A and B are shown apart, each in its own frame.
Chain A
């Protein structure tokens, strides 16, 4: 195997390890840190079913963002759901026998790249055009958008520009999964695409991308509004009663 292939193989194993271990550690930290007080933002559901419904609206529809800013909502939603469709479409590289539903969403996943790139473009434009958003943007906010946009554009090019050799790609990906590394495709666009994806995986657990697991642990959203009915006591707070 070429040095380039070895580099990509090592890169993806390392990136996967960092992503999985890094995010697992964060989730463990969130699970272990107590929420000593009831602080749901009210009006809030009074039951856990209601909380699940609220959380689903938050994660699927971005309900709070919708209340806040229609532009940020539309760009943010286009980006995230474009990316979801694109990711689902990518399952065909990870599963030897492509299930029918993955095959069925291929055309949607294909054009979802435009949703994703368009959404990212809108979000980035806001960082320049709205003075308040410009003020709070850090270099890493811009680089993150550049990285995601780069991933979207190079990915789009492999479909809508120079077609990449997806057979070699699938062999490479399945090789990684089966722990029997195979050569990486040599096409420069796919190489850039893959390198950027690995970078994203590596920075995920040390960046603001932690908003993805974080939202599920947000006490203002995931607590039921029932403090009068149930006594809620954290371990460290209970010690004050001794």
Chain B
């Protein structure tokens, strides 16, 4: 099954709401997971015989476990506020990619089976039985949603389509229909410890190679430690950082920051992955199981701080869910939570985003930079959806917007914002998040990237922007692949810590650690 041909949207530099065209994306489906992949996650290997009753039963279970789902099923009034907010609708014109219509795929079945009106007056309220066609629609359209939450910003009741997409995927998985891409990766993470399935020795090789490269480039022996017991910081970063371009440039950036600040740090071979696709498929149990590796690594290595690298959904899981699921955070009063929290240093936020760490070090003057080294770049910043609308950085709401921008401005001279309405909480997804970053969904990815590409084109044309700064492994992989479709060079894409890496001044051989110097400076 080869993906079909499609036309790449023509950019105009302006985001327009298209007239709807029914069914344009109905045939677009990602590959289905095979038996082995499904069973590794505890799901049936193929569509079960009594799928109808199983699916309705699962829906009932989820309605009882998640208030979000129950309220969101009831509260929608079809006001249309969300209809022009989804990048997949804007890019494909398919009405089932409007958030409300995507929700309605489940709501129609909810009404039929769980409400009085839907049981007795189905036509009147748009209730429908769960047929095989409806199930197919679920598989198509719940995997054309990147769970970016943009619609939830605009809904007067805060209905978050991501919650419904996640429930839809969880129900599909429970009757044996899984998506190959997400479920295979999640299986690898649970089995091997990272999404790419890199075994420990491969990671060691990569890190040694990086040490040589940085030594050659800078003359400074920056270390990339692995499994070092007693290190202050345990860095959890997406495995793409180990060898994908441009991801690895950011990993080099983190290492230089820790080196320059004199902070001892380590990576972990058993938890060499920040990403957690359990989130994408809406499975609490699988998300928790994947995250447990991080708890185990933190306890084994005895680290005092846990820092997370550039990855959007991983930061959502870390910031919003780690305290709940694995006890990385503060304020636990139970044994499970206290065990790890007693070990962590609560002078620092737990977990911390690498941008929070670097921002703090730059602000306090612990690390020094030469901004002019980034002078060949005119930079714009793409807010990642999960960072913007599902997490925070720093102490105040909105820190997730200011901190990365301030980091960029502290290490580079040329910065340009994209148009309002396409950044901050209104940011457009890159088009590849939420488990869609697979070649079999390339049409969805390219078309879904259109709104972001329009805003990008505008700053490229008018402000000579040549660098799209990111803090998400998925955004980096997606834009690297999709930019060329729109006529841009993939080298325009990179991480915020790639910029830090370029500008940072490394203390030379024989000098003391910078942290001590800064403390002396602070006393004067």
Residues of A within 8 A of B79 (CB): 65, 72, 76, 123, 133
A21 to chain B, nearest CB (A): 13
Q: Is the CB of A35 within 8 A of B66?
A: yes
Interface residue from A38, A67, A236, A237 paired with B154 (Cβ < 8 Å): A67
Interface residue from B337, B389, B425 paired with A231 (Cβ < 8 Å): B337
Interface secondary structure of A, over-half rule: helix
Q: Is the CB of B323 within 8 A of A228?
A: yes
Q: Does B57 contact A (CB under 8 A)?
A: no
Q: Does B333 contact A (CB under 8 A)?
A: yes
Q: Does A16 contact B (CB under 8 A)?
A: no
Interface residues on A, range: 35 or more
Question: Bound state CA distance, A225 and B399, in angstroms?
Answer: 12
Q: Does A126 contact B (CB under 8 A)?
A: yes
* With known contacts A206-B115, A215-B158, A132–B320 Cβ distance under 8 A: no
A126 to chain B, nearest CB (A): 7
Q: Is the CB of B68 within 8 A of A220?
A: yes
Residues of B within 8 A of A225 (CB): 392, 397
Chain B 72-107 interface residues, beta-carbon cutoff 8 Å to A: 72, 74-85, 95, 98, 100-101, 104
Question: Bound state CA distance, A240 and B336, in angstroms?
Answer: 11
B residues contacting the other copy or chain, number (CB 8 A)? 80
A158 to chain B, nearest CB (A): 28
Q: Is the CB of A64 within 8 A of B156?
A: yes
Question: Bound state CA distance, A229 and B394, in angstroms?
Answer: 12
Interface residue from B154, B351, B391, B400 paired with A64 (Cβ < 8 Å): B154
List the 10 closest A-B pairs by CB distance, nearest first: A214-B75, A68-B154, A43-B397, A220-B158, A138-B126, A133-B80, A132-B83, A68-B81, A221-B158, A218-B158
- 29 contacting pairs across A/B (C-beta < 8 A): A29-B70, A33-B64, A33-B70, A36-B66, A39-B68, A41-B160, A42-B388, A42-B397, A42-B400, A43-B397, A62-B156, A64-B155, A76-B79, A131-B20, A132-B20, A132-B83, A133-B83, A135-B20, A136-B95, A138-B126, A206-B116, A211-B74, A218-B158, A220-B68, A221-B158, A227-B323, A229-B329, A229-B330, A232-B324
Q: Which residues of B contact A (CB under 8 A)?
A: 17, 19-20, 63-68, 70-72, 74-85, 95, 98, 100-101, 104, 115-117, 121, 123-126, 149, 152-160, 163, 284-285, 288, 319-321, 323-325, 327, 329-334, 336-337, 349-351, 388-392, 396-398, 400-401, 425
